[in-house]
Amino acid sequence: MLDLIDSAGVDEFKIVALTANQNAKLLAAQAIKYNAEFVALGSEENSKDLEALLSGYDVEIGIGADALIEAGRRAADFIMAAIIGAAGLEPTLQAIQQGTHIGLANKECLVCAGDLVMAAIKISGAKLLPVDSEHNAIFQVLEADKPKGVRRLILTASGGPFLNRPLDNMMGIKREDALKHPIWSMGAKITIDSASMMNKGLELIEASYLFDRPSSEIDVVIHPQSIVHSMVEYIDGSVLAQMGSPDMKTPIAYAMAWPDRMEAPVERLDLTKMSGLTFFEPDLERFPALRLAREALETGGAAPNILNAANETAVAAFLEQKVHFMDIPGLVEQTLSIMAKSSDGPQSLDNILAIDAEARRTATDLIKRLS
């Protein structure tokens, strides 16, 4: 997003608030460059560094989870909700209450609390603009005012680094191998999710809420080239696809400028240089996380919330080399089974947060047994 602001000209935008998890040095540099009014650092670990770096500058500083929520309260024309994981839920809900344009880059908000978030959108009148490349693609080609004409949504997936790895060698996957995505450059957690295809499972759930479609009307196909970002099939047989170079600046630019478009500094797609575009069904034996996500969506209630919390816990354990790569979906499935009764009933924010915490404790106990 800041790259796009640089490209358009810093003077064209006013930065109200910036947030970071623990990178105080980068946050301070950005706050100074863009003359931010407020900055929030999620972790208290580097708070003194942030205060020292911004000493003498007219920037309000907040530290901790409450500061992230405060950032969401700051009045702005456009708010990018990009805090990773369930930690982004409360700040995003605060942003939604403003009734402004929300660029949603945090799929876990809808996975954990889809009904709650969409109800808040309806009450506030906020516009939810998907930033994930797949959902942004659907948003661009979906005739939202003619829902009866849509047959299905088709999410594409690159397949990650282990698309062609022998199945009998999946347990031996190392941390450094899982962090080498062949197409996209992402943070560690999202990269692991992409390797397991849990990321696509979470996107499946997100798409259901964003576009009000049941699981039966959302498909996933493997598309290794990552040129077609998603498709919409209509009842007359038409399939509309959004294409582009694999660069997140394109969907971010679309969300920032909506309903117009803005120039984005991305590599232009040259159709004449393509060797071919391929599509095929995902192997659910290789990628059981995709099956688990669809089952959680179809179960409903708190099941997606449990799925996400268990996965975040298991991925963190894998990154710390406490469990094997293929233990991740197994831990998620066991957590879902143990907490099956927690999936019933309506979900308030307090209830959502409590179930999230319980799922993390359950997954952590399971991890301890593996160690």
User: Three-state SS for 56?
Assistant: coil
Asked if the model's pLDDT at residue 182 lies above 90, the reply is: no
Q: What percent of the chain stands above pLDDT 70?
A: 98
pLDDT at residue 345 above 70? no
Low-confidence winner among 34-43, 64-73, 168-177, 231-240 (lowest mean pLDDT): 168-177
Q: What is the mean pLDDT of the chain?
A: 92
User: Rounded mean pLDDT of 71-93?
Assistant: 91
The token duo for 203 is 């996107």
Q: How confident is the model at residue 185 (pLDDT cuts 50, 70, 90)?
A: low
Chosen domain end from 99, 131, 163 = 131
Contact 30, 10 (CB under 8 A): no
pLDDT tier at 343, thresholds 50, 70, 90: low
Distance CA 39, CA 100 (A): 20
What are residue 222's DSSP bridge partners?
157, 280
Pairing state between β 150-157 and 228-234: antiparallel
Residues 286-318: tens digit of each pLDDT? 999 999 999 999 999 999 999 999 999 999 999
- As a whole number of angstroms, the distance between CA 79 and CA 75 comes to 9
Q: Is the same domain home to 169 and 315?
A: yes
Separation of alpha carbons 226 and 152, rounded Å: 20
Q: What is the pTM of this model?
A: 0.92
Residue-wise burial string across 220-236, b where 16 or more C-beta atoms lie within 10 A, e elsewhere = bbbbbebbbbbbbbbee
More confident residue, 219 or 349: 219
> Do 58 and 122 fall into the same domain?
yes
Which amino acid, one-letter code, is at 113? A
The pLDDT of residue 342 is above 80: no
DSSP letters for 259-309: TS------PPP-GGG------B---TTT-HHHHHHHHHHHH-TTHHHHHHH
* Residue 240 reports pLDDT greater than 80: yes
Domain stop point among 131, 161, 193: 131
Query: Is residue 258 domain-shared with residue 141, that is, in the same domain?
Result: yes
- Say if residue 118 is in the same domain as residue 150: no
pLDDT level of residue 281 (50, 70, 90 thresholds): very high
Same domain, 87 and 146: no
Quick one: pLDDT at residue 91?
A: 93
With bands split at pLDDT 50, 70 and 90, how would you rate the model's confidence at 186? Answer: confident
Does residue 142 have a pLDDT over 80?
yes
Is residue 159 located within the same domain as residue 279?
A: yes
Res. 346: pLDDT tops 70 = no
Across 3-124, the runs of DSSP E, i.e. the strands, are 17-20, 38-41, 60-63, 78-81, 101-104
Shared domain check, 330 and 227: yes
CATH classification of the domain holding 22: 3.40.50.720
Same domain, 82 and 114: yes
Are 121 and 266 found together in one domain?
no
Query: How is the beta sheet containing 239-243 ordered, strand by strand?
Result: 218-222, 150-157, 228-234, 239-243
Range of the domain at 311: 134-370
pLDDT, tens digit, 9 for 90 and up, residues 25-36: 999 999 999 999
Task: Confirm if 129 and 255 have CB atoms less than 8 A apart.
Answer: yes
344 confidence band (pLDDT: 50, 70, 90): low
- Tell me: do 235 and 113 sit in the same domain: no
Which helix (H) or strand (E) element contains residue 330? helix 327-338
Find out whether 311 and 351 touch, Cβ atoms under 8 Å. no
For the chain, how many structural domains are there in total? Answer: 2
Residue type, 189: K
Task: Give me the mean pLDDT over the 222-240 stretch.
Answer: 96
Pairwise pLDDT comparison (264 vs 169), residue with the higher score: 264
Ordered DSSP codes for 121-184: HHHH--EEEE-SHHHHHHHHH--TT-GGGEEEEEEEE--GGGTTS-GGGGGG--HHHHT--SS-
Residue ending a domain, among 113, 131, 149, is 131
Contact 37, 15 (CB under 8 A): yes
Nearest to 152, CA basis, from 232, 243, 222: 232
Does 281 share its domain with 251? yes
Q: The domain that contains 140 carries what CATH number? A: 1.10.1740.10
CA-based radius of gyration for the chain? 20
Cα 312 from Cα 181, distance rounded (Å): 19
Residues 6+ apart with CB under 8 A from 301: 343, 344, 345, 347
Mean pLDDT across 47-52: 94
Which helix (H) or strand (E) is 96 found in, with range?
A: helix 89-96
Average pLDDT over residues 338-343: 81
